[in-house]
Structure 1
Amino acid sequence: MNPSSPDYRGDSGAIIVGASTSTVPRRKMVWSNHGARVDVHSWGENITTTMCQEDPSGMGICNDSYEQFGGTSGASPIIVGAALSIQGMLAAKGRPKLNSVQMRELLKIGGTAAANPEAGNIGVQPDLKALIDGGHVN
């Protein structure tokens, strides 16, 4: 899985996401995937989402509620949101969409590394504002 290794078998184009703590400075979560092939990270804890719990009356009414979740299952959608924001900004300017390899490289520009790199590489946390302000998305 090391892209600089002579045994590396090619690039799938995937954007590999690690998970960090939700507090600053972001630190690699102990269970996060890590290594040379991990590109970017976002927080993997204290994520709140909506969910629908069926009304106990059985009438099919959905009561909105909130659920906490995390892991790379929480970090990945945060990265997807940043990538989709970028694609939308490019489309609004009449520019072509980026492919996954181009997006992966763009997301790394100006990002913030985890505070504990000795625990294993989880890439950088993308900085969407820096990408916009730096003219990378116009």
Structure 2
Amino acid sequence: MRQKSCQERLEAELQDRLRDIRTLWRLYQRNPEASHRELGRFEEYGLGCDYVAKGTFQDQKRGYFRWQLSWGGPADEFRFYMDENLEAVEIEYCFLDWYDGASRSLSGEDYSLLDEIFQNFKDLGLVKTEHARSSGN
């Protein structure tokens, strides 16, 4: 049986991630130390955050701040494309599997949720630190 392409799997994977993130974010907002019995703590969700400079990957035209949730096959992440003031101007979900990948820009409530989380990353100093590290400053 043929495995579905990343494009065919994208929406279901995104909705699963958003459900987990909404649950953890609400919990975190009430109590940053709280833990969900299945998902853990918001701060422990995913693998990490970093800045991926323009040109890191072949044909990559823009840099972005990445919240990497998983890697390998499959991998998924949110990419925050920023302006010169490090404000998110586009947020994209990427679902990647061996030699295949698909992405979708967020809008509406999904965008608002991830932008709120991005602002939290900024408040914690992650965005500025990772951007400076990547650019050698």
Which range, TM-score by smaller chain?
under 0.3
Q: Please report the TM-score for the alignment, with normalisation by the length of structure 2.
A: 0.23
Name the structure, 1 or 2, with higher relative contact order (CA <8 Å, separation 6+). 1
Larger helix fraction of residues: 2
Larger strand fraction of residues: 2
